Structures are given as structure tokens and as C-alpha cells.
Structure 1
Amino acid sequence: MNLPDAPSAFRSPTPPEQPWWWRTEDEEGNEVTVTGELAGERFASQSDAESWVGEVFGALAEQGSTRSCCSRGASGLRADVAAPLRVPRR
């Protein structure tokens, strides 16, 4: 089996190496721009992405997000198996 080379430890992974990301939305379905250290997070797997959002959903809610959708790739298409995650309001 041939595996791809591991990314260098001296550079950040490129988007193709981290294809999973979250789109956060408000109640009307408008995109919420996430700021601070939560902004621009990308993940190597859907599992990593889902674990992350489970850890930070409270912080996302504080920024106005009421739901998040896991997406893959540059096109931003939603993952076939991922459904919007309802983020409870405090």
C-alpha cells in the first residue's frame, strides 16, 4: 500500500490536507462569521471536525451561531452524512 507523504512538521497543513470545515449559521440560515481563535479551523477528518464543534459549541453560540453544518473541500458542499448541528442558546 502506498501512503502519501506526511506533511512537514515545519509548515501548516494545506487546505487539501485539511478538507473538513464548519459553516456556522444564525436562526435565519445566514452565515455567522466566527472570530478569534475559532476562525478558519479546518480538520483532516469529519470525526475531528465533529469532536471540535462538540467542544466549542458554547463559544460559537456566544458569537451568534445557532447551528453548524460540516462541509468538505473548497466547494463547501455539505457532507452527505452530516446534518446541521443545533447549538443551544444560553
Structure 2
Amino acid sequence: PALVKALLESTTAELAECLRTGSAPAGVDGAIWQEWRFTFQEHLALYGHAVYNLDFASPVPADDPTAQLETVKFYLRGQGTDPHERQRLL
């Protein structure tokens, strides 16, 4: 619950800085943060070099994960749909 609260209430810039430095957001246990951070960074290592536009000046998610952090917030707020369910309905 503390991690979810921090993800929803911290600004995306603050979360990106915490990811970069390894320091946990206020109110989050350091071990829990490190576990989440490791998993998020694994995701970025696998998928963070995807190109979303052909503008070479635009950073990829591995370099600037703010769009992915916003997506996490979107799903935590209950606004996202299950992609597997969406695919099944097509």
C-alpha cells in the first residue's frame, strides 16, 4: 500500500529521480522500493529501447521512463484495461 500511495502521489519527475538514484520515495520501505525498482529496470532493459517515433532527438523509455511511469499510474488508478482481455475481444 505504501508503494502504491507513493507511485500515485509523487510527481513523475520525483519517481524518475528515485529510480535513477535508488533512494525510496518518502514513506516507502527501502527493500520494497528496491524490489520494485529492479523489476521496473528489468522491464526497461527488455522493452525500453523501443522507438515510438522516428525523431532521433526523442529519448527512448530506457533513457527517460516518464511515459512508462505515467502508464503505471494510469493502471493503478484503475483507468487501464487488461490488454489480454482487450485482445480476446477483438
TM-score bucket (shorter structure):
under 0.3
Greater fraction of residues in helix: 2
Give the TM-score of the pair, scaled to structure 1.
0.27
Give the TM-score of the pair, scaled to structure 2.
0.27
